[in-house]
Amino acid sequence: MYSALNPDPEIVKLSFPARQFTFTTSDRNTGTDLTEQHSAGTIENAVLLPASLLANPVTRCTPETCAWRVSFTPTQSGINYMTGSITPLTYTYSGQRYQAFQELENYYDNGVTIEVISEYDSSDFSGSPIKVFPVVYNGENANPVYPWVSTGNPEHLGGTGTYIPATVGVVSQSYEWYVLVNTGSNLGFYQIWMKDVRNNQWYYYDYHDTVNPATQISTSESSSELGTIPLGAITLYARSQVRNDWCMINGIWKHPDEVFNSVGTFDFRSPDGINWPPYVWTGYSWDNRAWNVFPVVNIPA
C-alpha cells in the first residue's frame, strides 16, 4: 500500500490515517518536522504482505433476493481512494439455507463496481458462517470477479471465491478495507488491502482493467441483501457496521463529510415490490466527520 501511494520511489513519505500506525512506548518519537529517509529496498522489504488465507471456495446460488441500501453522492470529483472498515456485530440463525450479504459498494465511472462483503451463509454451521472478501464487477463483464490464485504474486488472496473466514466467536471484530483505483500511468490497476485487526494480518487483491477503466467514484453505498433457497422455516438476525473513514483526491486526504453529501439516499428492492416483508433494513449516522451504515437482515421466528 505504501509503495502504491508513494509518488517518488527515491524518497518514501508516509501519509496515512493515524490508526494505520502502531508504536510501543519506548520507540515512539514526537516532534515537529521529523523526517527519516531509507532506501526504497529497505522499505519494500519491511511491508511485505503475508500470503496466508483461506478456506474453501464460496458456493454461489441464484436465490430470490431483497435489498435495502443507502448511497452517498460525492460533492467533489476525483475520489479514487477510500478507507474504512466492515464489522459483523451480531449473528444468530436457525432453519433452512440462506445467504445474507452486508456490503460496502463503491460505484465508479465506466460501469466499474468494487465491493467489500460480509457474507452470512447457513451452509457452513461448524466452520466459518461469516465470510469477508472483496469482489470486482467490471463494466464490460457483469459477472463478479473474486480473488484468485497467482503464483507470481504470492501475497494475493488465494483461490476463486475464497474469503477471510470469520467464525461466530470473533463477532464483533473489524476488518479494515483500503480500496485504490489508480490513475495516470497505472490507470486500470485496482488494488484492495484488507486487515484483520484481531492479529494485524494483511490481505491483498488487485485487478487489471484494460478496457474503459474507472478513474473516480460515482457513488458509495452500503447495502443489506438477503437470498434464500427456499424461503421457509428460517430465523435469522445479522447486523454489521460499514464505515468510511477517509478519502483521497489527487493525493490529498479528505474527511468523508468534505467530499460526500451528508444525506444518504435509500432504495428498497424485492422480488414482489412492497408486498415482500421487510426482512432487510439499513440506517446510517455520522461521527467524527465519517459515515457509518448499519445493514440488518431480520427474519423473525
The domains of the chain are located at: 1-48, 51-299
- pLDDT over 80 (residue 105): yes
**47 or 2, higher pLDDT:** 2
Question: In this structure, are strands 79-95 and 234-249 parallel, antiparallel, or unpaired?
Answer: antiparallel
| Separation of alpha carbons 66 and 271, rounded Å | 6
Residue 172, Ramachandran bin (φ over 0: left; ψ between -120 and 50: alpha; else beta): beta
As a whole number of angstroms, the distance between CA 244 and CA 96 comes to 34
Query: Is residue 30 over pLDDT 50?
Result: no
Cβ neighbours around 228 below 10 Å, total: 22
Confidence check: pLDDT of 110 > 50? yes
Number of neighbouring beta carbons within 10 Å of residue 284: 17
DSSP string, 119-144: EEETT-SSS-SEEEEEEEEETTEEEE
- Please provide the average confidence, as pLDDT, over all residues in the chain: 75
pLDDT over 90 for what percent of the chain? 37
Q: What is the pLDDT of residue 123?
A: 61
Beta strands 113-121 and 130-138, pairing class: antiparallel
Contact 254, 246 (CB under 8 A): yes
Task: Tell me the per-residue pLDDT of 137-184, one tens digit each, with 9 for 90 and over.
Answer: 987 767 777 764 443 444 334 433 467 777 666 678 889 999 999 999
**Count of all residues that appear for the chain in the document:** 301
How far apart are alpha carbons 225 and 269 in whole angstroms?
9
Q: Is the pLDDT of residue 2 over 60?
A: no
- Over 80: is that where the pLDDT of 253 sits? yes
Distance CA 7, CA 253 (A): 15
Query: Any idea which of 39-53, 94-108, 224-238 has the lowest mean pLDDT?
Result: 39-53
Q: What is the pLDDT of residues 42-101, one digit of tens each?
A: 333 333 233 333 333 333 333 457 899 999 999 999 999 999 999 998 888 877 667 789
Measuring CA to CA, how many Å separate 201 from each of 50, 155, 174, 208, 264? 7, 12, 12, 24, 32
Per the listing, cell 445493514 goes with: 295
Q: Is 2.60.120.1270 the CATH number for 51-299?
A: yes
Average pLDDT over residues 273-290: 87
At residue 236 the predicted structure's pLDDT band, cuts being 50, 70 and 90, is confident
pLDDT greater than 60 at residue 224 = yes
In this structure, of 10-24, 41-55, 282-296, the range with the lowest mean pLDDT score is: 41-55
Predicted pLDDT of residue 228: 62
Better pLDDT: 194 or 256: 256
- Are 139 and 212 spatial neighbours (Cβ–Cβ below 8 Å)? yes
Q: Determine contact, residues 283/294, Cβ cutoff 8 Å.
A: yes
CB 103 within 8 A of CB 179: no
Name the residue among 202, 144, 214 with its Cα closest to residue 178. Answer: 202
pTM equals 0.77
